[in-house]
Structure 1
Amino acid sequence: MDSPLHRYADWDQHADRHTQLADPVVTVRQIGRLGLPGRAPTRIDHALVYTTRRGDFEVFLPPHRPRRLRRRYTAVYEVDMGVHPVRNRIPLPSADDAHEFEVGVEFDWQVTDPARYVRSGHRDVPRLLLGELEQAARPVTRRFTIADSAAAENELLTAVGQGKPLGEEAGLRVLWTVRLRRDEENIAHARRLQAIEHEAAEEIRTQQCGSRADREKADRSRAQHERQLELQEYEARRIAFYREYLTHGGIDAWAMHLAQHPEDSAKALSSLREEQREQLRAQMELIKEMLTKAGTEPFELEGPRRLAIEAFTAVFGQHVPEGPDPAAAKTGHTDTSR
């Protein structure tokens, strides 16, 4: 007769290493009273949990296996002891019943006490762990509004971490983490408000920058206008100065000034009225005589004379129209020796 472990299984998930398990019990086989010794057809990394007629459990952890099946065994459970990940989302209440927190949950669970798990009777480990988490978390999140998701998450981590380890009563070891956030409707609402705030801030910023640019432009225009007024006022003062010298006969000072600044003659002449130019021509003759006559040491006036004569010849000769020479009127020709 075949070994009872080779008989048809009462429960078989047909699981392999890549199967996503919710129940770590892979197979369950009943053992008859006449069962013969034999080798268990199980994977080496699975645990075997035998039940006795008295309701006790005998466990063989991998890689250990029984040498023979005893008559007092009634059934054998093949239990997967690998690590299994779970990713899920659950809703948790907030202080306002109109809104809920959305909690992202990550579990890594493993059977560490196969006999305890078989005795517990659980068949859905993810549902077991999520239920224990919800039971511990709901009183915590109830104290926070939907806007206080960060504070609620910190309090939730502390409360669950200090409580009884998840899955302990079922013989499980669980590594877990949670991430708490607002529900999708509230997140979408917050994003719409944020977009409105960003648009408003951008518009205000644009207006502020535009106003500042307008002020800077106005300041530059005003400064330029003031500069032009200052230049005009300065030119007016210079013209008045030249006119004063030319009108009241400040010939000596005027001649020395032009010797040093010959470029000023054109500006002065352009401001004179036509009747004043006739007077200037007569004064120019006097200035030439003054600069060419002897009266001081030659070395003292040599430089000023030369500069004044060159200035008057180059500038006055171009800008002051020559009048008819009295001698030429009598003789019929113009003297060009000057």
Structure 2
Amino acid sequence: MYDYNQHAQRDTKLTDPVVTVRQIGRFGFGGQAATRIDHALVYSTPKGTYVPYLPPNRPRPRTARLYTAVYEVDMGSHPVQAEIALPSDNDAHEFTATVELTWQVVHPAVYVQSGCRDVPRLLIGELEQSCRPVTRGFHITSSAAAEDELLTAVRAGKPLGEGVGLTVDWTVRLRRDADNIEHERRLQAARHELELQRYEAQKIAFYQQHFARGGVQAWALHLARHPEDTRLALESMEKHQLALLRSQLDQVKTLLGPDGGEAHELDRTRQLMIEQINQALAPDTRVPLPTPELPELPPGYGRRPHPPTGRERAR
């Protein structure tokens, strides 16, 4: 008769490898109980000691009468996965550690004598105790460095589960917790937006500085190379600057293409920019301006052609 029986099968997920416990009467078992051949048997003596029989060894019936109880111990490998929270150098932020363990009983008598009944809890507790002092020395953004130090420190210490007769293979992967990752993403988005604003402000300052100094030529030539900036340049101007540009528009057109040329003689993108400037300068009219992706002008574009020689005219 069993005092304790987990009714464990080969696919049963165990937290305690002691699958059965039976008391032995004065006259032995009264018949040999069936046990799995790959399980160890650990016998307790009246003096409180434990005698293991590793598979496939079993005691003789007469020998079994010398014991008071028998523990049937599973010696298979058992995987465990878990996540634990580990502190950083700031108590407001924690690392998340993903733990993978594979444990196995190698000294069944030691395990039985230890009184342990929950192996995963024992091992994760030992691991957490070793890891917490290490991760406390690292900032939450230094998860990679903390993980390296953690692995080194735990491997240098006492092997996990050794004190209760186990052998354990383990690994730990460290990362920031989900809240901190999301917080960092928001900060990155804010920094990106700030950089864009600074870039736009630098552009505006560039146009305002050149136009304030009467540098319409430099302003127009820059827009000829970067027509996508036309809207930004016009919006950055004061009213008196727009009036000055209106008076100098003919000069701008000259810089952007052949003087006095027909619309079809200008390339499409430069003609489009002149139309945008005309719309922006029209009284009481502010039309949203497109920002096409435009190619660079070929070398020498926009220069007046030399008058044909007599020989060329003859041809």
TM-score computed with the length of structure 1 as normaliser: 0.61
Report the Cα distance in structure 1 between the residues aligned to 2:254 and 2:74, rounded to whole angstroms. Answer: 86
Match of 1:225 in 2: 258
Partner residue in 1 for 2:146: 152
Give distance in 2, aligned partners of 1:86 and 1:73.
34
Q: How does 1:23-38 map to 2 (within 5 A)?
A: 23-36=16-29, 38=31
1:295-333 deviations in whole A, cap 9, x for unaligned?
Answer: xxxxxxxxxxxxxxxxxxxxxxxxxxxxxxxxxxxxxxx
CA shift digits 1:146-170 (9 cap, x unpaired): 1111111110000001100000010
Equivalent residue for 2:38, pick from 40, 45, 66: 45
Q: Are residues 228 and 142 of structure 1, via their aligned partners in 2, closer, same or farther at CA, if it must alter by over 3 Å? A: closer
Q: Is the 8 A contact 2:134 2:146 kept in 1?
A: yes
Structure 1 gap ranges (5+): 1-6, 239-256, 265-338
Pairs within 5 Å for 1:129-168: 129-168=123-162
Cα separation, 1, equivalents of 2:74 and 2:178:
37
User: 1:199, CA displacement in angstroms?
Assistant: 5.8
Aligned equivalent of 2:68, options 74, 77, 81: 74
Match of 1:263 in 2: 314
SS at match of 1:84: strand
Q: What does the per-residue CA deviation read over 1:104-152, in whole Å, with 9 as the maximum and x for residues that have no partner?
A: 1010000000000001100000010011111111111111111111111
**CA 1:262 to 1:111, structure 2 compared with 1: closer, same or farther past 3 Å?**
closer
Q: Secondary structure at the match of 2:171?
A: strand
Q: Residue 215 of structure 1: CA displacement?
A: 4.2
Structure 2 alignment gaps of length 5 or more:
208-220, 228-251, 260-300
CA distance in 1, matches of 2:312, 2:137: 91
Task: Give the C-alpha shift of residue 36 in structure 1.
Answer: 4.7
Distance 1:94 1:146 in 2: 6
Counterpart amino acid of 2:39?
Answer: H
Distance (Å, rounded) in 1 between the aligned partners of 2:25 and 2:254: 108
Residue 7 of structure 2 is aligned to residue 11 of structure 1: no
Is the CA contact 2:98–2:172 (under 8 Å) kept in the aligned structure 1? yes
Letter of the 2:44 partner, please give it. T
Name which of 214, 225, 229 aligns with 1:216. Answer: 225
Shift of 1:192: 2.2
Aligned mates of 2:25, 2:253 — CA distance in 1: 106
Q: Secondary structure at the match of 2:304?
A: helix
Give matches, 1:291-306, under 5 Å: none
- Confirm or deny: 8 A CA contact 2:255 2:302 kept in the other structure: no
Q: Which amino acid aligns with 2:225?
A: E
Asked if the contact 2:28/2:61 (under 8 Å) is kept, the reply is no
In structure 1, how many angstroms separate the alpha carbons of the residues matched to 2:21 and 2:195?
A: 67
- Determine the structure 1 residue equivalent to 2:51: 58
**Retained in 1: the 8 A contact 2:78–2:103?**
yes
TM-score, normalised relative to structure 2: 0.65
Is 1:180 equivalent to 2:174 in the alignment? yes
Instruction: Specify the structure having the higher radius of gyration (Cα).
Output: 1
Q: Which amino acid aligns with 1:225?
A: P
* Aligned match for 1:104, one of 91, 98, 105: 98
Return the alpha-carbon distance in structure 1 between the equivalents of residues 224 and 150 of structure 2. Answer: 55
Assess if the C-alpha contact under 8 Å between 1:10 and 1:28 holds in 2.
yes
- Residues 93 and 99 of structure 1 are in contact (CA less than 8 Å); yes or no, is this contact kept in structure 2? yes
Deviations 1:174-208 (A, max 9, x none): 00000111112111111222344456678889999
Q: Return closer, same or farther for 1:228/1:78 CA change in 2, 3 Å cut-off.
A: closer
With over 3 angstroms needed to count, the CA separation of the structure-2 counterparts of 1:145 and 1:228, relative to structure 1, is closer
Aligned residues: 233
- In 1, distance between residues paired with 2:91 and 2:312? 93
**Residue in structure 1 matching 2:121, options 127, 141, 144:** 127
Contact 2:224 2:256 in 1 (8 A): no
Aligned counterpart for 2:188 among listed residues 194, 210, 215: 194
Summarize deviations over 1:261-286 as a string: whole Å, max 9, x none.
6638xxxxxxxxxxxxxxxxxxxxxx
Larger helix fraction of residues: 1
User: Over aligned residues, Cα RMSD in angstroms?
Assistant: 3.2
Code of the residue aligned with 2:57 in structure 1: it is: H
> What's the CA shift string for 1:39-65, capped at 9, x where partnerless?
331111110001111112111111111
Secondary structure of the 2:65 match is: coil
**Aligned partners of 1:29 and 1:77 also within 8 Å:** yes
The answer to whether the 8 Å contact 1:39/1:67 transfers is: no
